[in-house]
A and B are shown apart, each in its own frame.
Chain A
Amino acid sequence: MKIWNFFPREALYECYQCARCTGSCPALEVAPAYGPRETILKCLNLGHEAVVQDEKIWLCCTCNVCEDRCPQKIPISDLLVALRNSAARRGNIPGKLSIAIELLAKTGRSMIVHQLDEMRAHHGLDPLPPAPVEEIRQILKKTKLNEVIDF
């Protein structure tokens, strides 16, 4: 996967390491994350190949506040999406997340519960029509999701 198709490589050099992104990062406050500033610095100094092997890149809320506050208008969230797409392809993906994707591919929805009809009836709602599972599976086969997640 070519991550520079998702994020303009030159934009890394726009970063002057002011750390406004990292100062705003909610994940960094509660978990041993790198924060966007350090992620960009590592991409510059170590290369993104090294960065995508690190499981810490998943410690992110995807809240986009880093990008919103970046004085250089660097599309940080595009970089973080690209890095994690590349990481997932190399098998660096949190267990909870790969289970969630597998469920989506198999059921067409990102969650299931027991006694759904009863729950919906409690609120006066009809049963939920089945998801178009087969169509979704076929689409995901063609987009080659199975190169990353078995389903």
Chain B
Amino acid sequence: MKYALYLGCAIPIKYPGFEAATRMVCKRLGIDLIDLPFGCCPPPTSMKLVHYDSWLALAARNICLAEEVGADLLTLCSGCVNTLKEANQVLRKSDSKRRKVNRILEEHNHNFKGTIEVTHILDVLYQDSVVEKLLREKVTDIPLRVGCHYGCHYFRPPQVMYPEELSPAESYVPVKMDHLLSLIGMEPTEYSRKFLCCGSPLGANMDQDAGYAITRQKLFHIHERNIQAISVVCPSCFEQFDMGQIALSRKTKDLPKIPTFYLTQLIGLSLGMSSKEVGLDVHRVKSRKLLETINITG
């Protein structure tokens, strides 16, 4: 099993711990990763809104690099997967857009063909063969009540993100993270507003306080269900919950802080990696005390 690892910008630069955890987890689970000279995805929350043609051309370049080595693209971020999946679909469907993009890319020796798929670490880990290996390799359970937050761009619009798995109402409700975490002994817990925005794009583009107000609403519902840990598959969502709780606690101290984890950090812990190895030591909301209660130290 081999993928071209698409790191994006936020993970290798802001949260290299997620990258370290992901590389170790993939190695243990038999997933080979190829590194290529990718650029920014670019985000569906910035470049796409400002200049669609630039968004499409840069996304196409990233897809071309993976096509050239014949590997599917493995993304680690809800934003990256959204951009690259949508661009892949748009360029496959529209002859005129594909021609236009290829005219731009040909000078750099790229030519979009539409020969590879774009996927996300959550979908890769969810495959039967990987799950079987995970169950064999797992050394410890993580018995905590966990609230999963998928990140809107991971699954919306569903016609673009999961066209094969739509409900009769043409909707798609993600469950894979909940299922996967239950396999490592966690207790996935439903909460109100689970599938709504974390607030990150509004904060990044317009108004930080308004963005955090959305986060606060989500956190309220997470607390309501006595959730002990939040799990995410996107660095922007992570920042919104991790840094967001610090920012919100400066204003009001009514809610205790809940540690946030990137999915592969939790999988890594269950495979016996230490919390330092998976990069938990640099999170703003510390998880040490919580993990000690379930005998995970270091």
A contacts, CB < 8 Å to B: 6, 24, 26-27, 29-31, 58-65, 67-68, 73, 77, 81-82, 84-85, 88, 93-94, 96-98, 100-101, 104, 108-113, 116, 119-120, 122-125, 128-129, 131-132, 135-136, 138-140, 142-145, 148-149
Tell me the complex Cα distance, A62–B47, Å.
12
Query: Are A81 and B40 touching (Cβ within 8 A)?
Result: no
B16 engages A125 (CB within 8 Å): yes
Given contacts A26-B214, A67-B157, A96-B206, contact A110 B37 (CB under 8 A): no
Are A63 and B196 in contact, with the CB atoms below 8 A? yes
Task: Kindly state whether residue B99 has any CB partner on chain A within 8 Å.
Answer: no
Known: A65-B196, A88-B49, A109-B39. A31 touches B206 (CB 8 A): yes
In the complex the two chains form, is B51's CB within 8 Å of A148's CB?
Answer: yes
In-complex Cβ contact of A85 among B16, B52, B156, B202 (8 A):
B52
Interface class of chain B by DSSP: helix
User: Do A123 and B16 have beta carbons less than 8 Å apart?
Assistant: yes
Chain B residues 79-122 with CB under 8 Å of chain A are 104-105, 107-108
Structural contact, A65 and B156, CB atoms closer than 8 A? yes
Size bracket of the B interface: 35 or more
Picked from A30, A85, A131, the residue with its CB within 8 Å of the CB of B213 is: A30
Q: A113, B13: Cβ atoms under 8 Å? A: yes
| Contact B13 A68, beta carbon cutoff 8 Å | no
- Interface positions, chain B 192-247, Cβ under 8 Å from A, are 195-197, 199-202, 204-207, 210, 213-214, 217
Is there an interface contact between B40 and A108, defined as CB atoms closer than 8 Å? Answer: yes
Q: Are A111 and B10 in contact (CB under 8 A)?
A: yes
Would you call B202 and A59 a contact (CB within 8 A)?
A: yes
Q: Contact between A93 and B50 (Cβ–Cβ < 8 Å)?
A: yes
A-B pairs, top 10 by smallest CB distance, nearest first, are: A63-B152, A64-B156, A30-B213, A63-B197, A123-B20, A61-B197, A31-B210, A143-B54, A84-B49, A109-B9
CA distance A88 to B277 in the complex (A): 43
> Separation in Å of the B133 CB from the closest CB of chain A?
23
Please measure, in the bound complex, the distance between the C-alpha atom of A29 and the C-alpha atom of B196, giving whole angstroms.
12
Interchain CB contact (< 8 A) of A6 among B23, B52, B217: B52
